[in-house]
Amino acid sequence: MARYTGPKVRLSRRIGVPIEDNPKHTSKRQLVAPGMHGYRGRRLRDYGIRLNEKQKLRHHYSVLEKQFRRYVAEASRSRGNTGEVLQQLLECRLDNVLRRVGVARTIWAARQIVAHGHVLVNGRKTDRPSFGVSVGDVITFKPKLEKLLRENMESLSGHESPGWIEFNPGELTARIVALPTSDQIPFDINANLIIEFYR
């Protein structure tokens, strides 16, 4: 399974927005461009603007380029607005669903929980972080992971699950009740620029 294993904060600094909602990524000092003196004096052209927008989305969901291209191709084949369908496909990844309900602090932690085989979708073990959940799917966890998940939820106190996921913290079960809409996705990007980048 290919994945990015380098420094994560560097990604936030490179694209100029926090890719993860934690103090390491969101502090003002960290969002200075990488390098000793920062990255100054260069205005982005049209290509650079589109590339930056694409990298924001890629890094937020921790997806490599080859896989991201597949998502774009699948979104362009589907009915509806390609940009919105692309965001839905990425938002419905299993590792992202765990992050959204608050049982994992980061996308990388959620990815590890799934890869280690601790997650059950409709009663079946699923160890692929890229697994796409659909409406009606029920996500549960193996009992031995309960303590860790509860610690993570306590550290993220005040976290609210999005409207498209029904989460029961007592039983640690999540149910997908609808597909996410663009206003329910807490990461601002211009999806049209990303689609233009690949045309």
Residue ranges making up the domain that contains 139: 93-178
**Do 81 and 146 share a structural domain?**
no
Residue 3 lies in a domain: no
Query: Which secondary structure element, helix H or strand E, spans residue 66, and what is its range?
Result: helix 65-77
Picking from 164, 163, 162, 166, the residue whose alpha carbon sits closest to that of residue 178 is: 164
Residue 26 lies in a domain: yes
Q: How far is CA 187 from the centre of its chain?
A: 9
**Do 59 and 43 share a structural domain?**
yes
Kindly write down the DSSP assignment for every residue of 124-143, as one continuous string. EE---TTPBP-TT-EEEE-G
**Do 23 and 54 share a structural domain?**
yes
Q: What is the CATH number of the domain that holds 132?
A: 3.10.290.10
Helix axes 82-91, 94-101, angle to 10 degrees: 70
pLDDT at site 157: 77
Q: What is the dihedral of CA 88, 128, 166, 96, to 10 degrees?
A: -50
pLDDT at site 132: 93
**Do 167 and 109 share a structural domain?**
yes
Residues of the chain with pLDDT under 70: 1, 23-41
Helix axes 65-77, 46-61, angle to 10 degrees: 100
pLDDT at site 33: 66
Q: How many domains does the chain have?
A: 2
**Do 128 and 58 share a structural domain?**
no
Bridge partners (DSSP) of residue 174 are 139, 167
pLDDT at site 27: 67
Residue 4 lies in a domain: no
**Do 82 and 14 share a structural domain?**
yes
**Do 53 and 31 share a structural domain?**
yes
pLDDT at site 3: 76
**Do 114 and 138 share a structural domain?**
yes
Q: What is the CATH number of the domain that holds 33?
A: 1.10.1050.10
- Give pLDDT tens digits for 102-156: 899 889 999 999 999 999 999 999 999 999 999 999 999 999 999 999 988 888 8
Task: Count CB neighbours of 47 within 10 A.
Answer: 9
